[in-house]
Each structure stands twice: as C-alpha cells, then as structure tokens.
Amino acid sequence: MTPSPDRVRLHVVTGKGGSGKTTVATALAMALARDGRTVLLVEVEERQGLAQTLDTPPLGPVERRVADGPGGAALWALSVEARASLLEYLQQFYRLGRAGSVLEKVGAIDFATTIAPGVRDVLLIGKVFEATRRTSGRPHPKGTPEHYDAIVLDAPPTGRITRFLSVNEQVADLAKAGPIHSQAGAITTLLHSDQTRVHVVTLLEEMPVQETVDAVAELREAGLPVGAVVVNQARAALLDEPDEVALLALADGTIDVPAVADAVGSVGIDDPQRVAGSLLDTARGYRDRLDLEAAQYDLLEQLGLPLVLLPLLPDGIDGGALAELADLLAEELDPEPDEDAGQLDLPENGLAR
C-alpha cells in the first residue's frame, strides 16, 4: 500500500485548554501510522504531555520511535525545545561549535529563546518544518527516519494558535533580517499550503464552542487552512429513544408528578412523593442539557466544517482508549466506500485530504 503523496502532511491540533488536544493529536498520529506509514508526533510546550499520554519516558529534542503500527508502520515522537533548536541553527548557519558555548556562558541563548515569542515560535515550528521537508537522500539526524508520511503537531491552545502560526507577522516587526526572518517566510508558505490542516478540538459546552468559533474565524482571517472540528468527550446518549421521549414528557409537564409518584409507589419505593420530585428534577436537568448541547452543536455546524465526534471514555485515557479513539479517527480518514459512506464522506478539506 503506497501512501498517496497528495495527502495532508502536517496536521496541527489546537483547542481550548484541557479539551483533549494532546489526546486527539496522539490518537490521530496513531490513526495515520497505519499501512506502513511513518508518522511524527510533536509537542512544543515542553510539558511532556505526549510522553504522559503515551506512557513512555520523557521525550527529548531528537525524535524517538514510540510505537509500531500495522504493516511496518511507525510512530515517532519528539518534544521540540527552543534552546536545542537555536543551538542547531547556530551550528547549521555559523558552524558555531565552540562559540555556542560562549553564547551560553553570557546568557545569550536563554536571552534569544525567551526574548520574543515570535522568535521562539519560529524556532519551534522550524523543527516541524524541517521534518515535513525531509525526503530520502537529504541529511537528517542519525538514526531517524529519512521521510515522514505525516506529522501531527500538538499545538498551543485556541487562544494562542493564530499568533503561533503567524510566525511571519510576528517576526516581521522584530527580526527584520537574518536567517530567522527568512525561515519564517518558508514556514508561512507551508502553513498556508494544501499540505497543512489545522484541526480544532472542542467540547460540547458553551465556552469551548465559543472559543472554537472565534478561533476558526481568526484562522480563516489569517488564511490558515482549517481542517475538522473534533467534538471530544461527547457523552454517549444515556437513554434510548423511547425513554428519552417519556422523560421529556415529564420535563415538559405533559405527565404530572402525582402520576409518577403513584407509579413509583406501586413498585414499593419509599417516600414516592419525594422520589417523584427528584425524578422531575432529573428530567428537567436532562432536557436542559440536551437543549444546550443541541444549541452548541448548531453553532459548530454553522462553521461549515466536518465535525468528528469522539466519545468520553469513562475510564480515562490509557493505551486501549487511545487505540479506540485512533480507530474512530481512522474511519474518518479512510471512509469505507460502502452504502453507508454518505455519512462518513468528508468535504474537501476534512481530516483526510
């Protein structure tokens, strides 16, 4: 199975803090690492979120193979560090073997990596950029793949994503010349190209949805290609349909509480009045929650982007849970061409292509 070359190479995963960016990025990378493909998963905030999620020792600035997939597929992961990238730069542009340590000594490395977020971001994305450019035969760090079929970036949250990806504008006012400046230009070209998709992870709640809507508008404004909206931690329907209809009738007052009290009394439950009152509260709460989720879902649909639903897994995230989410994402990536395919068919700029 040869991977088709026109696929998206770079998947950027953003979302509100705590919505599940790291989890979704990891599951997406696992979903992409099938059929013999080699995938790189990258984090940029030096928080070891990937290592925790993958339950593997801390990641460093050089990629490490963290998982194997079917058909010889491989997942590599890396935690980009601004300092390491800067030293790499200096090495590359100035062959600064020893001068590097002079810079370190006077505090210039710390200075340059913290001085301006724009510069830092160029250093961070620069590393991702390098990975997308890898082709067979070109130099690459020893012992690492010479080519990646896809790269997944566990990116900063929605509030910072557009700025993070707008490296060009960021450095334009600061670094007016030099390699950082020109690197920013090349990165911008990649980020605005067809090879990149920015996916937004959200929860079906007011704030995350608001942030998602805002972020999508900002990303579009900045000309960055938005991919899918991933609705994460979606609660499974707690009731089947007939139950739901009956419950809503109670919530709306079509069925009155005394009748419910009689019913629960008839099966021997103590204090039926009080229990019936609590059942009414439960029914109303459920209705309100459904209304809220429906309203939020509407807002997301209005974005005109593919929506991908991932369930809330009751026992949290471990290896099995990641595999389960990866399977769901893989389905979105490669919709089976059967009768039901209509449902899974993604618009042009979905997760897949």
Partner 1 sequence: MSRTPTTLDLPALVTDPATRIVVCCGSGGVGKTTTAAALAVHAAEAGRSVVVLTIDPARRLAQSLGVGELDNTPRTVPGVGAGGGRLDAMMLDMKRTFDDVVHAHADPQRAAQIIANPFYQSVSSSFAGTQEYMAMEKLGQLRAEADRTGRWDLIVVDTPPSRSALDFLDAPKRLGSFLDGRFVRLLAAPAKVGGRASVKALAGGVAVATKVLDKLLGAQLLRDVQTFVAALDTMFGGFRERADATYALLSEPGTAFLVVAAPERDALREARYFVERLAHDQMPLAGLVLNRVAQPGPIGVDRALGAALQLTDGEESGAAERAAAAALRLQASVGALAARHRAALRGFAAAHPGVPVAVVAAAPTDVHDLEGLRQILR
Ligand X SMILES: Nc1ncnc2c1ncn2[C@@H]1O[C@H](COP(=O)(O)OP(=O)(O)OP(=O)(O)O)[C@@H](O)[C@H]1O
Q: Which residues would be at the binding site for ligand X (CB under 6 A)?
A: 15, 17-23, 49, 157, 205-207, 232-233, 310, 312-313, 316-317
d(CA 28, CA 31): 5
Instruction: Specify the residue, 13 or 352, whose C-beta has the smaller distance to ligand X.
Output: 13
Task: Quote the least distance from Cβ 45 to ligand X, whole Å.
Answer: 7
Structure-block tokens of residue 190 = 């990649």
Instruction: Specify the residue, 36 or 117, whose C-beta has the smaller distance to partner 1.
Output: 117
Q: Does 148 bind partner 1 (CB under 8 A)?
A: no
Q: Does 237 bind partner 1 (CB under 8 A)?
A: no
d(CA 334, CA 239): 30
Q: What is the pairing mode between strands 196-202 and 64-68?
A: unpaired
d(CA 167, CA 93): 20
* Residue 96 site contact among partner 1, Mg ion, ligand X, none (CB < 5 to 8 Å, cut-off depends on kind): partner 1
Instruction: Specify the residue, 17 or 58, whose C-beta has the smaller distance to ligand X.
Output: 17
Task: Quote the least distance from Cβ 51 to Mg ion, whole Å.
Answer: 11
> What's the gap between Cα 65 and its chain centre?
20
Q: What is the pairing mode between strands 64-68 and 74-79?
A: antiparallel
* Residue 146 site contact among ligand X, partner 1, Mg ion, none (CB < 5 to 8 Å, cut-off depends on kind): none
Q: Does 317 bind partner 1 (CB under 8 A)?
A: yes
Q: Which residue has the tokens 């579009």?
A: 220
Binding residues for partner 1 restricted to 83-102, rule: CB under 8 A: 89-90, 93-94, 96, 99, 102
Angle at 38 between CA 32 and CA 44, to 5 degrees: 80
d(CA 11, CA 9): 7
Structure-block tokens of residue 154 = 């566990």
Query: Buried b vs exposed e over 236-256: b needs ≥16 C-beta within 10 Å?
Result: eeeeeeeeeeebbebbeeebe
* Residue 310 site contact among Mg ion, partner 1, ligand X, none (CB < 5 to 8 Å, cut-off depends on kind): ligand X
Residue 221, Cβ density class (10 Å: 0-12 exposed, 13-18 middle, ≥19 buried): exposed
Instruction: Specify the residue, 193 or 282, whose C-beta has the smaller distance to partner 1.
Output: 282
Q: Taking CB under 8 A as the rule, which mask of x and - marks residues 195-214 in contact with partner 1? A: --------x-xxxx-x----
Binding residues for Mg ion restricted to 35-54, rule: CB under 5 A: 49
* Residue 115 site contact among ligand X, Mg ion, partner 1, none (CB < 5 to 8 Å, cut-off depends on kind): partner 1
Task: Quote the least distance from Cβ 67 to partner 1, whole Å.
Answer: 20
Task: Quote the least distance from Cβ 326 to partner 1, whole Å.
Answer: 18
**How many C-beta atoms surround the C-beta of residue 13 within 10 A?**
27
Q: Does 321 bind partner 1 (CB under 8 A)?
A: no
